[in-house]
Amino acid sequence: MAIIRYLIVDQFGTMVRKHSERLRVVKGKEKLAEAPLLHLEAVLITSNGVAISSDAIRGCTERGIPVYFLSSHGKPYATVYSQALTGTIATRRAQLLAYNDTRGVRLVHAFVTGKLQNQANLLRYMGKYRKEREPDVFDAVQIVIMEIDGLANSIEQIQGENAAAIRESILNIEGRAAQSYWEGIRILLKANLDWPGRRTRGATDSFNMALNYAYGVLYGQVERALVLAGLDPYAGFLHADRPGKPSLSLDLIEEFRQQVVDRTIVGMVNKGTKLETDSGGRLAMEVRKRIAEKVLARMDSPMRYEGKRFSVRSVLQSQARHLATFLRGERTTYRPFVGGW
C-alpha cells in the first residue's frame, strides 16, 4: 500500500476523524481514505462541506502537520498550525525593522531578480527541445529571453533608502517582464486553448484557472516554510501591506512559481491533459485534485542547489531560513533561488 504523505479531502459531505494513530476520511458509512499520522506531511481540504474533528486537528498540530483550507479556485483562506510555531520573536522583530532600511531594498532586488531569472530559465528549458523540430518557435522564445534578461540586469540600478521607496519602479520592471514571459509561454503551448493571456482574479479560462489553483497549493507550502523559519508571512517587502494579505509569502513565492507551478501546468497541458470544467464554470474536482497532486509531487522532486541535490521542498525551507538569518544580521547577503535549465 502506498504511503500517503498529503491527504487531499475534496468531496462535499466528508468528515476527517482521528482513528488511533491515523486520519480517516469518511462519507456517511463509507471510508474514503486513511493516512497514518506518522508519514503525513500535510492535509489539504479543497471542498466546501467538509468537517474535521478536534481530535484530528490536535493530532495534526502535535506532530507539526499543517491543515490547509483552499477554495475551489485555489485561494487559501485558512491554515491550522501548532500554536508553538508562531512563538518566536527575535526574527520577527528583525523582520519588521528591516522594512525601513536597506535590508528591505536588497530583499526586493533579490525577490524580483530571482523571479525574472527563473522566468528566463524556464523558457530556456522548454525552448531547447524545439531548436531542431521547430526553429521558428525556438527563435521567437530566444527574443523573449533576451528581453527578460535585460530587465533583470536593470534591477540593481534602482536604489532607495527602503523597500517602499523603490517598490513602484521595481514593480514596473516586473510587470514588463511578465508581459514578455507570458508571451513566451503562449508561444510554447502546444494545445489550442484559445488562451486570452495571463489572468489572475476572475479568470474564466481553464489554463489560467489551473495556474491560479496551483499557485494556491504552493502558497501553503511557502507559508509553512516561513513560519518554520520564525518569520511572519504577513510582513513583506516587495508586496505592500494590506489586512489579510500574506505579503512575505507573496514575496518568497516569486522565486518558486516558475519551477514548481508554471513548469508543471504547461507540462500537463502539452502532454495532453484536459482541463475540464464543471457546470459552474470551475475546474472539475478531479482536475483540481490532479493539479494538487502534481504540484506536491514537484515539491518532492530533486534539483541542484548549493552544489548538491535536494528536493524542492528542502530548497524552499532553506531559502526561508537564509531569509531569517539575513534579517537577523547573521548572513551578509540573501541570494534568491534560481533553478537550472
**CATH number for the domain including 14?**
3.100.10.20
Task: Tell me: do 30 and 123 sit in the same domain.
Answer: no
The count of domains in the chain is 2
Domain membership of residue 1 (yes or no) is: no
Domain membership of residue 74 (yes or no) is: no
pLDDT at site 243: 86
Choice between 243 and 236, residue whose per-residue pLDDT is larger: 236
Task: Tell me: do 222 and 110 sit in the same domain.
Answer: yes
Task: Tell me: do 14 and 111 sit in the same domain.
Answer: no
Handedness of CA 260, 320, 249, 288 (dihedral sign): positive
pLDDT at site 201: 81
Percent of the chain with pLDDT over 90: 76
Where in the sequence is the domain holding 41, given as residue range(s)? 6-65
The pTM of the full predicted model, rounded to 2 decimals, is 0.88
Domain membership of residue 254 (yes or no) is: yes
Task: Tell me: do 176 and 229 sit in the same domain.
Answer: yes
- Find the farthest-apart pair of alpha carbons in the chain and give their distance in angstroms, rounded: 63
Can you give the CATH number for the domain in which 183 is found?
Answer: 1.20.120.920
Q: What is the pLDDT of residues 88-134, one digit of tens each?
A: 788 999 999 999 999 999 999 999 999 999 999 999 999 998 988 99
Q: What is the pLDDT of residues 176-231, one digit of tens each?
A: 999 999 999 999 998 777 788 898 888 889 999 999 999 999 999 999 999 989 99
pLDDT at 340 over 60: yes
Backbone angles phi, psi at 185, to 5 degrees: -60, -40
CB 184 within 8 A of CB 145: yes
Q: What is the pLDDT of residues 250-278, one digit of tens each?
A: 999 999 999 999 999 999 999 999 999 99
pLDDT at site 1: 57
pLDDT at site 86: 59
